[in-house]
Amino acid sequence: MNKHSKVLALKYRPQTFDDLIGQDIVSETIKNSILANKVPNAYLFTGIRGIGKTTIARIVAKSLNCINGIENLCKENLCNNCESIANSSHIDVLEMDAASKTGVDDVRDLIEFSKYGPTSSKYKIYIIDEVHMLSKQAFNALLKTLEEPPEYLKFIFATTEINKIPITVLSRCQRFDLSRIKSNELFDFIKKIKNKENGNANDDSLRLIVKISEGSVRDALSLLDRALLSLEDGKELDLISAQKIFGYFDKSQLIDLFSLILVGDENKVIDNYRKIYDQGVEPKVFINDFLEILYYFKNINLLTLESTNFSLNDEEFNKIKKLSNNIDSEVLILFWQFTIKTLGELDIVSNQNISIEMFLLRLIHLKNLKLENKMDNEKININEKENQKDNSPNIVNKKTIDQIKNVAQEKKAKPQNQIETKASNEIKIKSFNDLLRICNDKKEMRLKYELEKNVNLVKFENGRIEISFNDNLDKNFVKNLSSKLLEWTKHRWIITLTKSEGEMSIKDQEKIKQKELINNAKKSKIYRDMVRYFSDAELVDVKTFKSDE
């Protein structure tokens, strides 16, 4: 194949360590080991796709077998060994794809072949790509040869899933973790390639390519190749064209949509989203980009334009920074939680587009409820200060809660039988029923359950409770009850366990009362008439109502 007819990822594949980008430490370490004649039995390269694992493996093979040595490694006028290795045709350098040859028989053939020395070079080298695909038996068959190979034999492994390789194999290899390529380095690299190819693309479109590639050089070059081929002669690849080609939409549209959510304009929010959807943006892509924008709104003051990985341009960065000053952090965190939840809902609903529209409307109402709650809290705080100035005994006690409450709920009148409370938040508990009510008010449902179900009251006095219990009582009940009573009443209580039977438990009393109601109801004329017409009818429950109900 003519070199100039190759795709960019192959055409500009690095041939020496100097051509690599973003892997300086790995390159330097390998070169030093070869120069010092301390070559390991096996190299292991791991990292995401497209960052140079197989490429470095070939460069290492060239460095070990180049006729000119590593210091004068061939760059343009390749020696026979370097040219054969570059074309994957060298007789002593075998490239094997473990994804297609996973069995123990394949490894046995490889080991058998390794008994014969190299024919035309210094080292016989096995490059095994996607080595994690080998079976357990294949790895075991490789162990002995990997630990004590002949001097002329070297292994080079490459994998994207290092966790699938047995530790016995890892311990016999010199491991190199290849990092993602930094955005600035990748941008400069593809810009040079674009210039060499006489491509017509502006910097904003190249930054979008860098963002989509996520640090993978191969992905970046493939996207650049695709973008340049999509252009008509004489036309420049700009950001809008690149977004259409790659299925991405302008982040400024998402920022504008977010601004409308904060304002609460439902019609414009839905219209703007439908315009984004009409551009071919998938709902899941939209949600993930929305999460990214939320992250920037929350942390924009901690970021720089360079640290956003080219996701934002100057105008978008400054716009988010200006808007974020007027947004409560609690609102952004709530938005984040709702967005994550919606991402999971998309797999359930059949029409994901409708789900996104309802999600946006929920955010608007969520924002409004939060604002109303905040205003109500401010009013209560003002009333508290006024009451304190007037030395009024009826000080309003407002508890901060972790969920959004409806304003109407907060304005409900207190029940008449509410537990008496002092200004110092000291609660008076005068009876066992008072204790049950305070447990209910304080949301101590576990404690309330134990008191009703597993406890029999023997005696109740101020500061002292004597009880008996059944075998189901929680072992930490006394400790928990003592702690809560101290917290609520501000003084210690004595809780005594006795063998006396005491009163029935609350649940048992309720059962007996219910049984009496059913027996009385069965004596009524209504029940007798019902049974006359429906012989198989059975009365299972009776509910009593107040006179006004």
Give the containing element (helix H, strand E) for 494.
Answer: strand 494-497
Give how far the C-alpha of residue 221 lies from the chain's centroid of Cα atoms, to the nearest Å.
Answer: 29
Distances (CA, A) of 372 to 294, 324, 375, 379, 406: 22, 20, 5, 11, 8
Q: Is the pLDDT of residue 173 over 50?
A: yes
Averaged pLDDT for residues 366-371? 64
Mean pLDDT of the chain: 81
Q: Is the pLDDT of residue 1 over 80?
A: no
Integer Cα distance of 56 and 59 in angstroms: 5
**pLDDT tens string 462-476:** 788 888 888 788 878
The side-by-side arrangement of strands in the sheet containing 455-461 is: 455-461, 464-469, 494-497
What is the distance between the alpha carbons of residues 225 and 227, in angstroms, rounded to a whole number?
6
Q: What domains appear along the chain, each with residue ranges and CATH number?
A: 3-177 (3.40.50.300), 183-246 (1.10.8.60), 259-369 (1.20.272.10), 432-503 (3.30.300)
Q: What is the pLDDT of residue 275?
A: 86
To the nearest 10 degrees (0 to 180), the angle between helices 266-278 and 251-263 is 160
pLDDT per residue over 42-76, tens digit each? Answer: 999 999 899 999 999 999 999 999 988 888 888 87
Rounded to an integer, the average pLDDT of 501-505 is 71
**What's the confidence (pLDDT) of residue 232?**
76
Look up residue 446 and give its amino acid.
R
- Of the listed ranges 28-37, 396-405, 519-528, the least confidently predicted one is 396-405
Q: Per-residue confidence at 203, pLDDT binned at 50, 70, 90?
A: confident
Provide the 8-state DSSP code for 200: -
What is the predicted pLDDT for the residue at 224?
92
| pLDDT confidence of residue 270 | 92
Per residue in 376-424, pLDDT (tens digit) is 555 545 455 555 545 544 443 444 344 444 444 444 444 444 444 444 4
477 to each of 35, 446, 450, 464, 489, how far by Cα in Å? 72, 9, 8, 15, 18
Nearest residue to 139 (alpha-carbon basis) of 166, 173, 106: 166
- What pLDDT score does 407 carry? 40
The yes-or-no verdict on residue 178 having pLDDT over 80 is: yes
| Choice among 244-258, 339-353, 405-419, 461-475 with the minimum mean pLDDT | 405-419
Per-residue pLDDT, 409:
46
- Mean pLDDT to the nearest integer, 155-183: 92
Identify any residues that bridge with 427 across adjacent strands, giving them in sequence order.
Answer: 421
pLDDT in tens, 421-452: 444 467 888 888 888 888 888 888 888 888 88
